[in-house]
């Protein structure tokens, strides 16, 4: 029995409570007179305005995307992957003791155990033959892949035609019982920021879902998601399970494959990314034709030309192009005469904006293609000269300790008054031990950075331990002493470094770094 307890209440309080509860009961149930008044017509029921007709064609066209969703929805599928995961079984700490193992033999080893992991994602049927585009991470390493159509039919076994991890794309194929109309693929290069988009997929396994947003940004990269990043950014909600689903425009044309979100919570926070349809189409065609993606290779390490770099290279601040940070040995670029410090402004008449657009253009060009480069070559004390160079691409390769004596530049009285850009940086010669430990190739010559004060100008500019300084103000660096000497000589407001680090793709990355050369107060 439910009892209402009022601390400290006596008999009179209980009587008051009973009266109050009685009043509540009377208020909750209308009197017979009130009921008879309604039935007699004295208090008629309210007159409601009911309009149960469907929206007019004009209003529907202006406010609803139902027609677009109906066309697209049959092409968006759910993908179920099963992966066998092998992990070490529990092993008693005694098994790490070689004496224990010697006496009891190898049979005591803990061995390993396996279990099945289920994955969920989305995909897009792009042809009546049953080809499905999805994200590579949805099916990567899977033992089996099944596809569930939006129509609710039984799951279909899917064959993985091929994968391309560097763009996070995969191509599947299923045998359809009846053809599904191909989903039109739009030209993603014609997208503009502000265009309306719809994202379709199966988030959190709740069933097919549609979310709406706009294109928030184009050409997004540097996210560490894949090797070739040129993402469409959208605020259309993308959640776990949406990966591999369709991003379509207001006409229901495919413009991207949803692939990732940027989130601090693990869930949607308004920033999602999709692989552009032009990239997806290129990958799909190569996988169908050749079973893998064969990319062109030029052999340079490109860097976006910023206004600051342009100024140091004697170019106008509004100059656009790609700065050549490194030219690979025996590469097509080297053979054609491209040099480090060149600025490539055009390829086959197409102007370059940044290093990502350059990388995608080269990667999507077949090996053996001859390309015409237009570049500017800075010359000390002279206006940069324009050069035209032809180069033939080759097939891209599959990608996928400090010396004891340190040379601090810190607090050196010989430095130019008021200038100390490399204050807080310690460098050492590259010896055999350092090369082995950091996997530094023999072709790299310079001074190894062993310590950087993060509050210094160099630290704020991005110089880090394990970087190798190759040049200072366009002058080659061979030893640590030479690096110190060149840094002391610099009297400009900024120091231009060319550095190499082993953490880049393909065995290392070279970049230019600008360091303020004024003493910090």
Digit-coded pLDDT (tens) for 173-213: 998 888 888 889 999 989 999 999 999 988 877 778 889 99
Note whether 344 and 277 are same-domain residues: no
Q: Is 168 a known active-site residue?
A: yes
Q: Tokens 């004891």 label which residue?
A: 404
Note whether 170 and 233 are same-domain residues: yes
Domain range for 192:
66-92+112-293
Q: Which CATH number does the domain housing residue 300 bear?
A: 2.30.42.10
User: Of the residues 122, 137, 355, 423, which is catalytic?
Assistant: 137
441 lies in a domain? yes
Digit-coded pLDDT (tens) for 341-353: 888 888 888 888 7
User: Of the residues 122, 127, 168, 423, which is catalytic?
Assistant: 168
Whole-number pLDDT of residue 254: 94
DSSP character string of 72-122: HGGGEEEEEEEEEEEEEPP--GGGG-HHHHHHH-GGG---EEEEEEEEEEE
Q: Is 122 a known active-site residue?
A: no
Note whether 308 and 436 are same-domain residues: no
149 lies in a domain? yes
DSSP 241: T
Note whether 357 and 244 are same-domain residues: no
103 lies in a domain? no
Whole-number pLDDT of residue 493: 72
Domain boundary among 266, 293, 320: 293
Note whether 177 and 85 are same-domain residues: yes
Alpha carbon distance 28, 180 (integer Å): 59
Whole-number pLDDT of residue 199: 92
Note whether 139 and 287 are same-domain residues: yes
Note whether 245 and 343 are same-domain residues: no
pLDDT at 223 over 80: no
Q: Is 64 a known active-site residue?
A: no
CB 391 within 8 A of CB 365: no
Overall number of domains in the chain:
3
373 lies in a domain? yes
Note whether 504 and 490 are same-domain residues: yes
**pLDDT band for position 54 (50/70/90)?**
confident
352 lies in a domain? yes
User: Of the residues 81, 122, 216, 243, which is catalytic?
Assistant: 243
Note whether 303 and 239 are same-domain residues: no
CB 183 within 8 A of CB 132: no
Note whether 268 and 136 are same-domain residues: yes
Residue 517 tokens, joined? 């050369």
Domain boundary among 293, 313, 347: 293
Note whether 156 and 70 are same-domain residues: yes
**pLDDT band for position 86 (50/70/90)?**
low
| Residue of 115, 111, 119, 118 lying closest to 84 (CA atoms) | 115
458 lies in a domain? yes
Note whether 468 and 450 are same-domain residues: yes
Q: Which CATH number does the domain housing residue 123 bear?
A: 2.40.10.120
Domain boundary among 236, 269, 293: 293
521 lies in a domain? no
**pLDDT band for position 257 (50/70/90)?**
very high
346 lies in a domain? yes
CA distances from 317 to 237, 309, 310, 347, 498 (A): 38, 8, 6, 21, 20
């Amino acid at each position: 029995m439910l009892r209402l307890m009022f601390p400290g209440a006596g008999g009179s309080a209980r009587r008051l409570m009973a009266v109050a509860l009685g009043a509540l009961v009377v208020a909750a149930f209308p009197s017979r007179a009130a009921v008879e008044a309604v039935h007699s017509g004295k208090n008629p029921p309210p007159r409601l305005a009911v309009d149960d007709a469907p929206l007019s064609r004009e209003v529907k066209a202006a406010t609803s995307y139902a027609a677009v969703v109906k066309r697209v929805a049959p092409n968006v599928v759910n993908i179920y992957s099963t992966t066998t995961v092998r992990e070490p079984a529990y092993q008693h700490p005694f098994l790490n003791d070689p004496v224990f193992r010697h006496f009891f033999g190898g049979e005591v080893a803990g061995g390993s155990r396996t279990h099945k992991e289920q994955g969920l994602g989305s995909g897009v049927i792009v042809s009546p033959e049953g080809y499905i585009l999805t994200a590579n991470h949805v099916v990567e390493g899977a033992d089996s892949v099944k596809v569930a159509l939006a129509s609710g039919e039984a799951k279909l076994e899917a064959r993985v035609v091929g994968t391309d991890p560097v763009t996070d794309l995969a191509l599947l194929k299923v045998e359809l019982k009846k053809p599904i109309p191909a989903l039109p693929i739009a030209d993603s290069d014609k997208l503009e920021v502000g265009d309306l988009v719809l994202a379709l997929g199966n988030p959190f396994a709740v069933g097919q879902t549609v979310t709406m947003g706009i294109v928030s940004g184009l050409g997004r990269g540097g996210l560490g998601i894949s090797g070739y990043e040129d993402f469409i950014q959208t605020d259309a909600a993308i959640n776990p399970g949406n990966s591999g689903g369709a991003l379509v425009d207001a006409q229901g044309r495919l413009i991207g494959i949803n692939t990732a979100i940027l989130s601090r919570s693990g869930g949607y926070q308004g920033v999602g990314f999709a692989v552009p349809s032009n990239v997806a189409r290129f990958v799909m065609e190569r996988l169908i034709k050749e079973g893998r993606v064969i990319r062109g290779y030029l052999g340079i390490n490109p860097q976006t030309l910023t206004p600051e770099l342009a100024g140091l290279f004697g170019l106008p601040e509004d100059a656009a192009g790609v700065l050549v940070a490194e030219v690979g040995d025996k590469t097509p670029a080297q053979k054609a005469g491209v040099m480090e410090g060149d600025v490539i402004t055009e390829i086959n008449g197409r102007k370059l904006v940044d290093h990502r657009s350059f990388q995608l253009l080269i990667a999507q060009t077949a090996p053996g293609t001859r390309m015409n480069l237009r570049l500017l070559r800075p010359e000390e004390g002279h206006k940069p000269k324009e050069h035209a160079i032809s180069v033939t691409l080759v097939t891209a390769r599959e990608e996928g300790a400090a010396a004891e004596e340190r040379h601090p530049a810190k607090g050196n009285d010989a430095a130019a008054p008021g200038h100390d850009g490399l204050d807080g940086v310690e460098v050492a010669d590259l010896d055999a031990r350092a090369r082995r430990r950091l996997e530094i190739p023999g072709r790299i010559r310079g001074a190894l950075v062993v310590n950087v004060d993060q509050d210094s100008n160099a630290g704020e500019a991005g110089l880090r331990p394990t970087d190798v300084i190759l040049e200072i103000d366009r002058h080659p660096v061979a030893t640590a002493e030479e690096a110190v000497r060149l840094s002391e000589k610099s009297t400009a407001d900024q120091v231009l470094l060319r550095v190499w680090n082993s953490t880049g793709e393909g065995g290392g990355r070279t970049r230019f770094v600008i360091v303020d050369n004024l003493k910090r107060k």
